[in-house]
Amino acid sequence: MNDNNDILRVDGLKKTFLKDKAAVDGVSFAFSRGEFVGLLGPNGAGKTTTIKMLTGLIRPSSGAIYYFGSDFQKESQKTKALIGVVPQQNNLDRDLTAYENLYLHAILYGIPKAARKARIDELLDFSGLTDYRNRQVKSFSGGTMRRLVILRALLHEPKILFLDEPTVGLDPQIRRVIWDFIVKINRMKNTTILLTTHYIEEAERLCKRVLIINDGLIIVDGDPETLKDGIGRFVLEVHKDDGIEEEFFDNRSDALAALEKSTYPCKVRGVTLEDVFLRLTGRRINV
């Protein structure tokens, strides 16, 4: 059954590249309009494969994808107009200017000639890139290229924007600029966002809802605060000779009391989504 209030609904989506091991092993979820969702998981978990299926770059082995209740496999051409994609790698033409890159994309996405220039200039302004309009992309910093790729994905005014690891390889300071930009898109244009990341902080700071993926399976789905509440808000790290052990507590005073009693060097800190992942899988997201 499809609920038309869902912008996107996925049922038992699966992709098997090699014979026996599924890269995405049957995932199901639904998003409503304006949601800001993170798909968080370690390298190789199946994030990119999921995004590629959702955006029509690869075919699922099984399962179904519905946008606004209509079957993506059957109506992919029409549906692609609703989707914006920011791939993991910047795929700009470095010899062209920002404007020229955007203009080419506008042609590809069938934006009427009369509307192209105004749409591009409005978006350059929206993203603070007007000064870069007529400069060649090869002179841009990594962060500016990233903003341009995101802006480009907005040209045809998609209802849902997919961003695959949008801040990988960027300096922490630039990462914040990109975060602000993505939040602005979500708030001001009410664009539904799905971003993938293996950065805990990125998921915690940005996403109202996080799907944690591991080995092709979504192991948890919820808002970061509730997920953290589920295991206890404070961690006592006990630094033993053979590694760090973690104990979880609902409040700081209990954690500090345990610290007092311990004979090992200890530290009390707040719980993160990394701890949630560790509790569920026995390993860390970032190793």
Binding positions for ligand ADP, rule: CB under 6 A: 17, 23, 41, 43-49
Least Å from the CB of residue 110 to ligand ADP: 29
169 binds, among ligand ADP, Mg ion, none (CB under 5 to 8 A by kind): none
Nearest CB to Mg ion, comparing residues 6 and 202:
202
In angstroms, the first-to-last Cα distance of the chain is 40
In the complex with ligand ADP, the residue whose CB is nearer, 45 or 236, is 45
Residue 48 in the binding site for Mg ion (CB under 5 A): yes
Q: Which does 224 bind (CB under 5 to 8 A by kind): Mg ion, ligand ADP, none?
A: none
Distance CA 36, CA 179 (A): 12
3-class SS of residue 262: coil
User: Using CA of residue 104, residue 110, residue 111, residue 114, what is the dihedral sign?
Assistant: positive
CB of 126 to ligand ADP, least distance (A): 29
Own/partner pairs for 218-221, CB < 8 Å, 24+ apart? 218/27, 218/28, 218/29, 219/280, 219/281, 220/276, 220/280, 221/29
Looking at residue 256, the DSSP 8-state letter turns out to be H
Spatial CB neighbours of 158, under 8 Å, sequence gap ≥ 6: 81, 82, 83, 84, 191
| Alpha-carbon span 147 to 166, nearest angstrom | 9
Size of interface with Mg ion, in residues (CB under 5 A): 2
Show the beta-strand stretches assigned E in 70-181: 70-71, 83-86, 160-164
Distance in Å, CB of 47 to ligand ADP, minimum: 3
Closer CB to Mg ion, 41 or 158, in the complex: 41
Cβ of residue 143: shortest distance to Mg ion, in angstroms? 20
Which is closer to Mg ion, CB of 47 or CB of 175?
47
Closest distance of CB 169 from Mg ion, Å: 13
44 binds, among ligand ADP, Mg ion, none (CB under 5 to 8 A by kind): ligand ADP
> For residues 16 and 76, which CB has a smaller minimum distance to ligand ADP in the complex?
16
CB of 87 to ligand ADP, least distance (A): 11
Among ligand ADP, Mg ion, none, what binds residue 45 when CB lies within 5 to 8 Å by partner kind? ligand ADP
Instruction: Give the angle 171-237-222 at the CA atoms, nearest 5°.
Output: 65
Total H helices, total E strands in the chain: 10, 13
Q: Does 50 bind Mg ion (CB under 5 A)?
A: no
Residue 40: contacted member of ligand ADP, Mg ion, none (CB under 5 to 8 Å, by partner type): none
Under the rule (CB under 5 A), what is the footprint of Mg ion?
A: 47-48
